[in-house]
Amino acid sequence: MSKLQPLQRQWMVLRTLCARRYGATVRELANEHQCSLKTIRRDLELLQGLGFPISDEEREHGCKYWVAKSDSTTPTLKFDFSEILGLYVSRMLLEPLAGTVLWEATQSAFRKIKATLGEPAVAYLHQLSGLIHRTSFRESDYSRQAEVIDHLMVAIEECRISFITYQSARSTEPLTYDVYPYGLVYHRGSIYLIAHSQQHNMIRTFKLERISEVTIEVLKFQRPHDFDLQHYFQNSLGIYHSAEEPQRVVIRFTPEVARYVEEHHWHASQQLHREKDGYLRVELEIAALEEVKSWVLSFGAQAVVEEPLELRETIQSEITQLNAVYEQVATRVTREDES
């Protein structure tokens, strides 16, 4: 019985064949990936049918070896120096996936780039890539969750029912959920699983850092044919989702931050209007207001909500509570100074 899920195993088979100039037999592949001969043959036929340049060759004593090679039907990829630079610099964007099979494959590609170019060119690439600094503010480290990510990717691709062990921010202990994984979303340094939860009987968002274990079942689920992640979040400002109808949101920004707001794309529905006094009015169509509240508060007194009333009152309440907290701190600090 294979310890790897089908997609993981097929990926590893491809890597094995690409790494071995003389190829490997079906038995060797089956032993290495701990599965049956029938399973490996099925994997090889699938990969070959998808167009990957692998084939079997009969050698001495009638022994067949599977090899990966380029042929006339597989175009040779050629990159100019600027394209290589772009790929090399972009490796920093993949760091959140460190430890996964995707990360390992890209690292192998970067090692080949370095080996092909030689030390002087690599030193120059390293110098140029150093011109771009990637901050680590609010960045998640997934190096210890490689297996979780790999399993979820397989479950999503193959529509496999899964059980996840998850501890929410409000839970005192982890719980197990029976889910139908639909997709992964990368948002502001973190990865989220979007899945239909059988316990909640609805689509839920699970933060990856809080998933400690994933068990993939043999049974499959029927993914809704009309489900699309982009469409699912079209009325959100980030990762929050609301089933409510979108409503008009109007925010007025001061001249001090107007240009900064204009320089960024915040939402597909945004309409920006500069006023004669330098203020900027931003209009949005949003259903989930929680992240809009946080966004507005991040500008302090330089952003004011005009519509809807509900959001304006929520922010006013938040400011009142925040002011009370600071007054308590000020009183305590004063007493400590006087004592």
Q: What is the pLDDT of residues 279-326, one digit of tens each?
A: 999 999 999 899 999 999 999 999 999 999 999 999 999 999 999 999
Question: What pLDDT, in 10s, does the model give residues 254-283?
Answer: 999 999 999 999 999 999 999 999 999 999
pLDDT bracket for residue 5 (50, 70, 90): low
Query: What average pLDDT does the structure give for the chain?
Result: 85
Sheet holding 211-220, edge to edge: 202-207, 190-197, 175-187, 160-166, 211-220
Q: Is 307 exposed, middle or buried (0-12, 13-18, 19+ CB in 10 A)?
A: middle
Q: Tell whether the torsion through CA atoms of 244, 250, 256 and 261 is positive or negative.
A: positive
Correct CATH for 247-313 of 3.40.50, 3.10.100, 3.30.70, 1.10.10: 3.30.70
Whether the model pTM is above 0.75: no
Among 11-20, 43-52, 171-180, which stretch is predicted with the lowest mean pLDDT? 11-20
Sheet holding 303-307, edge to edge: 271-274, 280-286, 247-253, 303-307
> Are 55 and 17 a contacting pair, CB within 8 Å?
no
| Cβ count near 174 (within 10 Å) | 15
Q: Give 233 or 118, the one with higher predicted confidence.
A: 233
Q: What is the CATH number of domain 146-232?
A: 2.30.30.520
Share of the chain above pLDDT 90, in %: 44
CA angle in degrees (0–180, nearest 5) for 28-34-40: 60
Longest CA–CA span in the chain (Å) reads: 94
pLDDT of 1: 39
Q: How far apart are the C-alpha atoms of 50 and 26, rounded to whole Å? A: 19
Q: What average pLDDT does this structure show over 42-57?
A: 85
- Top CATH class, 6-68: mainly alpha
Beta strand 280-286 pairing with 271-274: antiparallel
Q: Tell whether the torsion through CA atoms of 154, 143, 103 and 56 is positive or negative.
A: negative
Q: What average pLDDT does this structure show over 89-106?
A: 70
Q: List the chain domain ranges.
A: 6-68, 81-129, 146-232, 247-313
